[in-house]
Amino acid sequence: MKQIFQNLRTGAAETLEIPTPHCPKGCVLVQSQCSLISPGTERMLADFGRGGWISKARQQPDKVKQVLQKMRTDGVEATVRAVFSKLDQPLPVGYSNVGTVIQVGEGVKNLKVLDRVVSNGYHAELVAVPENLVAKIPDDVSDEAAAFTVLGAIALQGVRLAAPSLGETFSVFGLGLLGVLTCQILKANGCKVIGIDISEERVETAKRFGVEGLVVAPNEDPTERVINANGGQEVDGVLITASTRSNGPIASAPRMTRKRGRIILVGVVGLNLERTEFFKKELTFQVSCSYGPGRYDEGYEKEGLDYPVGYVRWTEQRNFEAVLELIRSGNLDVRSLITERIPFDGAAAAYDRILTEAKGYGYLFQYPSTPLAKRTRIDLVRGEKAKSIKPSSGAPTFGFIGAGNYVRGVLLPSFASTEARFTGVVSQSGMGSADLARKFGFNFHATDVSEVLNDKGTNVVVVATRHNTHAELTVRALQAGKHVFVEKPLAMNREEAMQVKKAFHAAP
């Protein structure tokens, strides 16, 4: 299957062929129908990649500190190698995917095959997504409209933190896609909305949804104009949905907000706060976290542990469902925001064009509707460093299970320096292994460990996965008649260690 990746060193996008992702416990495998480009976030990543080293350092000061510390401990050469390796690693992009469930993992309770769903899956023909990051699409909501759900949930979470009440007035900084969705949700809450942007076209679009729009110059403080537009009164709150390095929005927001008002940051802007205004007015300032409660919590997202509705009413999944209901009821108009529909076959070139030139709102990738065959292994073709490897007496041929940072930065370079011969490499998602296979001359890459364990050309298996899987994979490799190099720890407890010992003595 095909998937879009971005190179963080150059900013360029490319479409890679990778195996069908593994569908682990608690996840569903979805065949994509369409996915929405997020102009702000995805353009920010592209701009980071296109920038030079100085630009990258300015955008990531925390990473610069980590690099300097690594130089002190590991030396310059190792640090440079690690930085280049990280920047050369293809980054999967996209997080607003619509498709049909084609496989259900163990433990999934509320989804079944053929369900139409929206998720935060990548721009890819097939995506494996945890159940708590998936929501069913109502029958009367189209795939294209549902593709706006995840972006809508980001806007909705910002509005929830602002806690609007009927009749209040809010100003919204930044009228891109996220800003326009935010304006519509505020209007649905019975609020007056004053939208602010430097683009006249975006302001005119916002006006279609009943927003009072203000076109401002890049360095203009719109405080006085906003207060005038609100009948001489300061607004009840401000939502910042802009994406800019400028400190302008966060400097103007407290000046236009009433005493004890609320300022919510949904986008990404400069954050040099002026304490005086916040202090005098007792303002509340809060940063909104993505789609809502549960985000970045591994227990919620990966282990499927939901928050009780009586304690956390709106999780990220329930925010997805709320946005779908807003779309279904007509309170959130997204169809009119579709700018272009792009066949996925030409996705990489179109992706670069959109993030560089486009000024519209909704750009949708459309995927083939024909069923995709599940393919857990891809053999590299001539010209991609593929070598013909035949098992021979005593000559080690290495297959890797795991494609994480330690494999990429330490193990593979060390093995390669000895002119080791590589056969296959496996990773659960297929993304990391696809990149490593091309760079280190593997014959194939896969998402099923059986492809390495059953490969006749492999006589040594390197186990470099999560610690809690080492013993199980070591046992399976020994049972398959392979020599095993396993990263520490060999086992997590005595019982696992005894299983490995037993498998070793019983190995053929």
Q: Which domains does the chain have, with CATH numbers?
A: 2-148+334-366 (3.90.180.10), 158-287 (3.40.50.720), 377-506 (3.40.50.720)
How far is Cα of residue 313 from the mean position of the Cα atoms in its chain? 24
Q: What are phi and psi of 30, to 5 degrees?
A: -120, 130
Output the pLDDT for position 373. 85
Band of residue 355 on the pLDDT scale cut at 50, 70, 90: confident
Output the pLDDT for position 351. 84
**Tokens 């997590």 appear where?**
492
Closest by CA position to 294, among listed 274, 314, 267? 314
Mean pLDDT in residue range 13-30: 94
> How far is residue 351's CA from residue 435's CA, in Å, rounded to a whole number?
20
Query: Are the beta carbons of 291 and 319 closer than 8 angstroms?
Result: yes
Band of residue 382 on the pLDDT scale cut at 50, 70, 90: very low
Report the percent of the chain where pLDDT is more than 70: 89
- Which residues touch 297 (CB under 8 Å, ≥6 apart)? none
Band of residue 185 on the pLDDT scale cut at 50, 70, 90: very high
Hey, what's the torsion of the CAs at 308, 311, 313, 317, to 10 degrees? -40
pLDDT at 69 over 80: no
Tokens read off for 464:
């470099």
Mean pLDDT in residue range 401-424: 92
Mean pLDDT in residue range 309-326: 98
> How far is residue 280's CA from residue 296's CA, in Å, rounded to a whole number?
34
> How far is residue 444's CA from residue 380's CA, in Å, rounded to a whole number?
6
* Least reliable range by pLDDT among 93-97, 101-105, 216-220, 352-356: 352-356
Q: What are phi and psi of 262, to 5 degrees?
A: -120, 135
Considering 16-20, 169-173, 246-250, 414-418, the range whose residues carry the highest mean pLDDT is 169-173
- Which residues touch 406 (CB under 8 Å, ≥6 apart)? 464, 487
pLDDT at 47 over 80: no
How far is Cα of residue 431 from the mean position of the Cα atoms in its chain? 13
Burial environment of residue 140 by CB neighbours within 10 A (0 to 12, 13 to 18, 19 or more): exposed
Band of residue 257 on the pLDDT scale cut at 50, 70, 90: very high
Output the pLDDT for position 386. 44
DSSP code for 411: I
Percent helix / strand / coil, the chain, rounded to 5: 40, 25, 40
Tokens read off for 7:
């190179």
pTM of the shown model: 0.89
Mean pLDDT in residue range 68-86: 68
pLDDT at 87 over 90: no
The better pLDDT of the pair 347, 255 is held by: 255
